[in-house]
Structure 1
Amino acid sequence: MRGALSYAFARVLEGAALQNGKTELSHGDLIAYLMNSIKNSLMDSGTSQRPDLRPKQSFDRVAIRFGSDLKLASSPQQAPPAEVGSVLRVYSEKGKSIERLKRPELDLAVEPTTDRSRADFIYFVDRGDFYSKGGDLIVSKMLPVDIADIAEREIAIRKLLELAKTRPRTITVNRGDQRYLAGQEMSLDARRSDGEARVTEYYVLLIISGNGLVQFMYPNRLKNDSMTLPDLPLGQMQAGEPFGADYAVLVTDQKPMDDLVKSLNGLNGSRSSNAVAIQIAKALTPTMKIGLQPIYAAPKP
Structure 2
Amino acid sequence: MIRTLPRLLALSLAIALPGPALAAQTYALVVGADKYPNDVSLDGAVRDAEDVYRAMSAAGFTVVKFTDAEARKDVIRKAWTDMVATAAAGDTIIFTYAGHGAQMPELVAGDEADGLDEFLQLPGFDRNRYEETSNEIIVDNEMNAWFAEAEGKGVHVLFVSDSCFSGGMSRSVTGKSRLAPAVKVKLAPPSQEAIDGASFKEIDFKQVTVLAASLESQPTPEVIIDGEPRGALSWSFARAVEGSADRDGNGLITRIELEDYIFSNVKNRSEALQVPNFMPQVARSESEVVVTLTRGLPAGTASDTAAADRIVKPAGELGWTGKIALRIDGDAARPDRADGAGTPFRWDVASGVFYTPNGDVAAENVGPDRIQAVVDKFVLLDFLKAVASQNPGSVSLTPVKDIYAAGTRLRFDAPPGRYPNMLVFNLANTGEVQFLDMQAAGSGASQFKLTDVEVVKPFGADHLVTIWTAEPVDAIGAVLADPNVTAAALLQALTTRLDGKAASVAIQPLYTRETL
* TM-score normalised per structure 2: 0.46
Partner of residue 70 from structure 1, selected from 288, 292, 302:
302
Residue type of the alignment partner of 1:166: Q
* TM-superposed deviation, 1:269: 3.8
Report what 1:293 is aligned to. 508
Residue type of the alignment partner of 1:87: A
- Would the aligned equivalents of 2:324 and 2:344 in 1 still touch at CA under 8 Å? no
Q: How does 1:113-152 map to 2 (within 5 A)?
A: 120-123=345-348, 125-126=350-351, 128-152=352-376
C-alpha offsets along residues 61-90 of structure 1, whole Å, 9 cap, x if unaligned? 331455443246423254268624233113
* TM-superposed deviation, 1:284: 4.4
| SS of corresponding position for 2:243 | coil
Structure 1 residues 299 and 124 mapped into 2: Cα distance closer, same or farther (>3 Å)?
farther
Partner of residue 445 from structure 2, selected from 228, 247, 256:
228
Q: Distance in 1 between matches of 2:241 and 2:371?
A: 41
Q: Which runs of 5 or more residues in structure 1 are unaligned?
A: 92-96, 112-117, 193-197
Bigger RCO of structures 1 and 2 (CA < 8 A, at least 6 apart): 1
Q: Distance in 2 between matches of 1:156 and 1:256?
A: 19
* TM-superposed deviation, 1:171: 2.0
* TM-superposed deviation, 1:212: 0.8
| SS of corresponding position for 1:219 | strand
| SS of corresponding position for 2:366 | coil
Q: Distance in 2 between matches of 1:180 and 1:52?
A: 22
Residue type of the alignment partner of 2:339: A
Residue type of the alignment partner of 1:83: T
Structure 1 residues 249 and 59 mapped into 2: Cα distance closer, same or farther (>3 Å)?
farther
Residue type of the alignment partner of 1:238: E
Partner of residue 109 from structure 1, selected from 339, 352, 362:
339
Bigger radius of gyration: 2
Structure 1 residues 7 and 139 mapped into 2: Cα distance closer, same or farther (>3 Å)?
closer
- Would the aligned equivalents of 2:403 and 2:511 in 1 still touch at CA under 8 Å? yes
* TM-superposed deviation, 1:220: 7.5
Alignment pair present for 1:83 and 2:321: yes
- Would the aligned equivalents of 1:108 and 1:151 in 2 still touch at CA under 8 Å? yes
Report what 1:203 is aligned to. 422
Structure 1 residues 184 and 54 mapped into 2: Cα distance closer, same or farther (>3 Å)?
same
Structure 1 residues 18 and 147 mapped into 2: Cα distance closer, same or farther (>3 Å)?
same
- Would the aligned equivalents of 1:122 and 1:133 in 2 still touch at CA under 8 Å? no
Q: Distance in 2 between matches of 1:283 and 1:119?
A: 27
Residue type of the alignment partner of 1:109: D
- Would the aligned equivalents of 1:219 and 1:227 in 2 still touch at CA under 8 Å? no
Structure 1 residues 242 and 11 mapped into 2: Cα distance closer, same or farther (>3 Å)?
same
Q: Distance in 1 between matches of 2:278 and 2:263?
A: 9
Q: How does 1:19-98 map to 2 (within 5 A)?
A: 19-20=247-248, 22=250, 24-42=252-270, 50-57=275-282, 58-63=284-289, 64=291, 67-71=299-303, 73-76=310-313, 78-79=315-316, 83-91=321-329, 97-98=330-331
**Equivalent residues, number:** 272
Q: Distance in 2 between matches of 1:82 and 1:51?
A: 25
Q: Distance in 2 between matches of 1:172 and 1:109?
A: 33
- Would the aligned equivalents of 1:168 and 1:291 in 2 still touch at CA under 8 Å? yes
Structure 1 residues 171 and 268 mapped into 2: Cα distance closer, same or farther (>3 Å)?
farther
| SS of corresponding position for 1:74 | coil
Bigger mean CA deviation after superposition, 22-31 or 208-217: 22-31
Report what 1:115 is aligned to. none
Report what 1:168 is aligned to. 392
Percent same amino acid among aligned pairs?
A: 19
Structure 1 residues 19 and 200 mapped into 2: Cα distance closer, same or farther (>3 Å)?
same
Q: Distance in 2 between matches of 1:147 and 1:54?
A: 44
Report what 1:240 is aligned to. 456
Q: Distance in 1 between matches of 2:325 and 2:467?
A: 27
* TM-superposed deviation, 1:288: 1.5
Report what 1:195 is aligned to. none
Residue type of the alignment partner of 1:291: A
- Would the aligned equivalents of 2:239 and 2:389 in 1 still touch at CA under 8 Å? no
Task: Tell me how large the CA RMSD over aligned residues is.
Answer: 3.4
| SS of corresponding position for 1:86 | coil
| SS of corresponding position for 1:99 | coil
Alignment pair present for 1:15 and 2:243: yes
Q: Distance in 2 between matches of 1:191 and 1:300?
A: 31
- Would the aligned equivalents of 2:323 and 2:340 in 1 still touch at CA under 8 Å? no
Structure 1 residues 199 and 262 mapped into 2: Cα distance closer, same or farther (>3 Å)?
closer
Q: Which runs of 5 or more residues in structure 2 are unaligned?
A: 1-46, 49-230
Report what 2:149 is aligned to. none
* TM-superposed deviation, 1:135: 4.0
* TM-superposed deviation, 1:289: 0.8
Alignment pair present for 1:277 and 2:494: no
